[in-house]
Amino acid sequence: MSVLTMTATTKTFGGLTAVSELDLRIEQGEIHGLIGPNGAGKSTTIGLLSGFLRPTSGSITFDQRDLTRLDPSAIARLGISRTFQQATPLVGLSVFENVIVGMHTRFHASLGAVALRLPSATREARALTVSVETILARFDLGMLAETDAKNLTFGQLRFLEIARALAMDPQIILLDEPAAGLNEPERQRLAGVVRELRDRGMGVLLVDHDVPLVFGLCDRMTVMNFGSVIASGKPEDVRADAAVVEAYLGGEPAKGAAR
C-alpha cells in the first residue's frame, strides 16, 4: 500500500507562514478530507505535495522516497497527480486530446517507433485510446471527445480537469476544490466517481468547501486553520470537535465535545 506523508512540514512566504509543522498521511484506498477556512493553508499543502512548491522545512515522502526536491513531472511519474481550482483546458485541443496529453507519463514507445508506426507503438497507442475513452465515459464526456475543450460548460470543464489527472493512472490523486460551481446532479456524479476511485484502491486527498460532500465522502479528515492542524480523525469525531465548530463549521459543538 502506497503512503504519501508530510512530516513537520512548514512553508513560509517572506514573513508569512502558510503551513506550519504539518503532519499529514494519505493512504491508498482511502478518501482523506482536508478542510478549513479560506487562508488555512489547504491549497499550499496541495502545492507542496505535488512539487509546485518546496517546503521551507520538514519532509514529504511517498513510499519512504523523499519528494522534497523533486519537480512536479517527477512526482507525477511516481504516481501522484493533482487538479487545480481553476479548470483550464489546453488551448486549441479537443476534449480527447486534453486527456491523452495527461498520459505522457504512461507512454513507453520511443519517438522513432512512433514516427515509423512500428507495431509496438501502434498497440500502445490503441491501448491508451481505449483508456481515454473509458475515462471520458466515467464523466459523461464521451460524446464530446472531438469537441474543442474551450466550448465545454463550467461543470464539464471541472470533470475534464479530473479526467486529465486520472489519465496519469495515479496511485494518489489530490483534488483541489473539485465541487466548486457544480450543480446538484454534477455534484452527485463527482461523489460517485470519488467513491469509485477509493474502491479501486486509489488514495484521494479531497479539499473542498462543500461541507456535506466532504463529510459524506471521507474516511478520515484533517482540519487546518492559520496553517496548522486543529483536528484530525474520523468525520464524526471532527464534526464534534469544539475547535472545528468555532473556526469553520459554526453553531454549537455536539454534547461531550472536547473544549
- pLDDT per position as a tens digit, 62-83: 998 999 999 999 999 999 999 9
Question: Quick one: pLDDT band at residue 55, thresholds 50, 70, 90?
Answer: very high
Instruction: Judge whether 239 lies within some domain.
Output: yes
Instruction: Judge whether 132 lies within some domain.
Output: no
Q: Give the pLDDT score at 254.
A: 43
Q: How far apart are CA 55 and CA 45, in angstroms?
A: 9
Mean pLDDT on 139-146 = 93
Is residue 259's pLDDT more than 50?
A: no
Is residue 109's pLDDT more than 90?
A: no
Supply 54's cell numbers: 518546496
Instruction: Judge whether 255 lies within some domain.
Output: no
User: Long-range contacts made by residues 139-148, C-beta under 8 angstroms, separation at least 24?
Assistant: 139/163, 139/189, 139/193, 140/189, 141/95, 144/95, 145/94, 145/95, 145/96, 146/94, 146/95, 146/96, 147/94, 147/95, 148/92, 148/93, 148/94
- Burial-class residue 173 by CB neighbours within 10 Å (0-12, 13-18, 19+): buried
Structural domain count, the chain:
1
Closest by CA to 93, choosing from 136, 133, 145, is 145
Secondary structure string (H, E, C) spanning 216-258: HHCCEEEEEECCEEEEEECHHHHHCCHHHHHHHHCCCCCCCCC
- Burial-class residue 44 by CB neighbours within 10 Å (0-12, 13-18, 19+): buried
Instruction: Judge whether 232 lies within some domain.
Output: yes
Q: What tens digit of pLDDT does each residue of 208-230 get?
A: 999 999 999 999 999 999 999 99
Instruction: Judge whether 238 lies within some domain.
Output: yes
Instruction: Judge whether 14 lies within some domain.
Output: yes
CATH assignment of the domain containing 173: 3.40.50.300
Instruction: Judge whether 77 lies within some domain.
Output: yes
Instruction: Judge whether 258 lies within some domain.
Output: no
Domain of residue 11: give its range: 3-88+166-249
Question: Would you say the C-alpha torsion 47, 168, 100, 217 has a positive or negative sign?
Answer: negative
Looking at the DSSP assignment, which residues form a beta bridge with residue 13?
16
Supply 3's cell numbers: 503512503
Whole-model pTM?
Answer: 0.88
Supply 52's cell numbers: 509546485
